[in-house]
Structure 1
Amino acid sequence: MHVKFCGFTQLDDIKAAVKLNADAIGFVFYPPSPRAVTIEQAQILSAAVPAFISVVALVVNMPEDELIELANHVSFDIIQFHGDETPEQCRQLANLVNKRWIKALRVNTEQDALESVNMQIDSFAAAGASSILLDAYHQHKYGGTGARFDWSLIPNDSSLPIILAGGLDADNVAATYDLPIYAVDVSGGIESDKGKKDVGKMHAFMKSVKRDRWQNETLSESSNISS
C-alpha cells in the first residue's frame, strides 16, 4: 500500500511528511481550492522533497499554456488531472510536458454502476494513464470534500492500478486493505485546517497503514506455511 499526502502549503508540513516516509507529495494548482499554491510557493515547497518521493501536480481543467508554464518552473513528476478532462485531452496535455499522469474519477454512488466505472477506467488506460484515482462525486466541487463513496463500486479487475481517495483518515484507512487498490490519497484527514497539516494525524495515518500492512503480510505468510 502506497501513501500520497496531498494539499500542502507549509514547508514544515512537507518536512514532516518526508520523515514519515510518504510515497508521494501533492500540490494543488487550482486557485478556487483553499489548498491551492502558486508557482512561486510550489518552487520552495517542492525543493524540500528528496529523491525517490514523487511530486504530484494536481490540476483542474488547466489550459495548455498554463500547464507548460507550470512544468517549466516547478519540478514535478506526475500530473493528476482532477477536472473534466477527457482521455484524449489528458494524453495530449501530458505529452506537451512529457510527464506521466493519473486521472481522478469522481464516483457518484447514486448514479454510477460498477460497469460504468470500469468502462471509464479502460478509456483512460487506453490513453496512457499510469493509474486511476477514485474519489467521491460532488456537484459543485472537484475534490477535497472529505466524503466517501460506495467502495463496492471499486472494480476487482481494473485495467489500471487504483488509488483511493475521499474521507480517509487514521481511523478508517485499515478498512481499505480488503479493497483491490494500489494506494491511498489523503488530504483533509491529516489536517488541522484547510492546507495546514497536523503532524499527529499524519503520524497516526502512517502508523495505521504500516501496522495493518504488517499484520496482513504476517497472516498471509502464516496461511502459506500452514497450507
Structure 2
Amino acid sequence: MKVKICGVTTRDAAITACRSGADMLGFVFAESPRKISLERAKEIAGLLPEHIKITGVFVNETAETILRISEWVNLDYVQLHGDETPEFCRQLGVPVIKALTIREKSDIKKMRIYDCDYFLLDSPGVRYAGGSGNPFDWSLLKDTGIPREKVILAGGLNEKNVGEAIRIVSPAMVDVSSGVETNGKKDLKKITSFIKAAKGREKDVSLYITGQ
C-alpha cells in the first residue's frame, strides 16, 4: 500500500516520512494553515530521495502559475482541489491528481469525465478546500466499478482506521494530513505510526537523505 503524507511544511516531517516508508509527499500552495512558501518547498524537495514523489496542491489556480511552481519545485504531480474542468486538466500537460469531494454516490461519476493519473477522493471541506478531518462514507465506493488503481483515499484517516479503510476501498494509495498532526502541526511519531499501520507491517527503511 502506497502512502502520501500531505501538508508537509518542515524538513523534519519530510525526512521522518521518507525514513518511515512514505511514497509521496504533498506541498500545499493554496490558502491553508499548511501553506508552504515556494522557497521552503524547493529546499525540502532537494533533500528527498529520487523515488519519493512530490505533489503540489492547488485550488482554482491559473495554468501559468501551476506550471511555474511545478517547474520551480520540480513536482512530479499537480493536485487540483478546485473547480478545474477536464479540459483544464488535459491542457496542463503534466501528471494530474484530481481531487473529488464525495458526499453521495453520484459524486463518484465525475471520475468518468476526467483523464487523470490519480483521483483523490476526499471528505467535504469546512473552511478550506480539502477534507474536514472526518472520513466520508467509504461504502459509497462499493459496486461502482471505479478504477481502484487510480484511487487515492483521503479524508479523516488516522492510524486507527486506515487499515479498515484500505480493506473496504482497496485504493492504490492513502493520503493523510490532519490525521498525523498534534495541535495543527505534523507529529513525527504519528507519521511513523500511520505509515506502519497503512503498510501493515514494520518497515525497516534506511534511506539516504541529502545533507544527513
Decide which structure has the larger Cα Rg and report it.
1
Distance in 2, matches of 1:14 and 1:138, equals 24
Is 1:18 the equivalent of 2:18? yes
Change in Cα spacing, 1:72 to 1:203, as seen in structure 2 (3 Å) is: closer
Shift of 1:72: 3.0
How does 1:1-227 map onto structure 2 within 5 Å? Answer: 1-30=1-30, 32-92=31-91, 94-95=92-93, 99-108=94-103, 112-113=104-105, 116-124=106-114, 128-138=115-125, 140-156=127-143, 157-159=145-147, 161-176=150-165, 177-194=167-184, 196-211=185-200
Q: What is the SS of the residue equivalent to 1:205? A: helix
Amino acid corresponding to residue 102 of structure 2 in structure 1: V
Does structure 2 conserve the Cα–Cα contact (< 8 Å) formed by 1:133 and 1:162?
Answer: yes
Residue by residue over 1:88-120, the C-alpha shift from the partner in whole angstroms, topping out at 9 and shown as x without a partner, is 11111x21xxx2111000111xxx22xx23420
Unpaired stretches in structure 1, ≥5 consecutive residues: 215-227
SS of the residue 2:146 aligns to: coil
> In the alignment, is the contact (CA less than 8 A) between 2:138 and 2:168 conserved in 1?
no
Secondary structure in 2 matching 1:134:
strand
Contact 2:60 2:80 in 1 (8 A): yes
Q: State the 4+ residue runs in structure 1 displaced beyond 6 angstroms.
A: none
Q: Once the 2 structures are TM-superposed, how far is the Cα of residue 144 of structure 1 from its aligned partner?
A: 4.0
Helix, strand or coil at the partner of 2:107: helix
Q: Which has the higher helix share?
A: 1
Root-mean-square deviation (Å): 1.9
Which of the pair has the greater relative contact order for Cα pairs under 8 Å at 6+ separation?
2
Structure 2 stretches lacking a partner, 5+ long: 204-212
**Contact 1:3–1:22, Cα closer than 8 Å, also in 2:** yes
